[in-house]
Amino acid sequence: MKSAVEQLSTYKSVHLDTRNLQTHFIGIPLIIWSVFLLLASVRLPLGNGAELGLSWIFGLGVLAYYFRLHWRLAIGLTLFLVPVLYTTEMAAHLAYALWLALTIFVVGWVFQLIGHHYEKAKPAFVDDLNQLLIGPFFLMAELYFMLGLETSLNEAITPIAAAKRRAIDEQKVRQSA
């Protein structure tokens, strides 16, 4: 498993433009909420008439992954994810839950694509699907950095991200020549 520094520096290498980061702070939470709503719509029987959305199993699995990567960031992600799980569990019972999830999903991706237009770089998941899971992890790291927390992590990933971005940009120039 790649370390938190490796994962975050790869993700950050195509998220250096402030406008891209700003759009991601809107787009990623919207996408997360919509995916969890879709998962919450898949009901698992627990017995005695009780049931649980598939979102809880997925959410706990993702949190376990985040805790393996970096426990302090995972605490913040847990504080974010619990309300997501609760609200999507409630919304899963709405007659229009599927349409709501799909609409929010599309809106979230519009924000993502606008951000990558500013960045002039493709989304990180294009080369590595695991980066879809790193998006929320990256945003939590950026939030911690904005709050003055985890400065050593920021100092570790930023130069690596910048070097990776230079390599990406140099490869683009070579391919266009």
- pLDDT tens digits, one per residue of 60-109: 999 999 999 999 999 999 999 999 999 999 999 999 999 999 999 999 99
Q: What is the pLDDT of residue 47?
A: 84
Number of domains the chain is built from: 1
Rounded to the nearest 10 degrees, the angle between the axes of helix 54-69 and helix 131-146 is 60
Give the residue carrying structure tokens 């700003």: 22
Range of the domain at 38: 4-176
Provide the whole-model pTM: 0.91
Tell me the three state secondary structure of residue 80: helix
Q: How many CA atoms lie within 13 A of 94 on its CB side?
A: 14
Question: What does the longest C-alpha to C-alpha distance in the chain come to?
Answer: 67
User: Looking at the DSSP assignment, which residues form a beta bridge with residue 43?
Assistant: 53
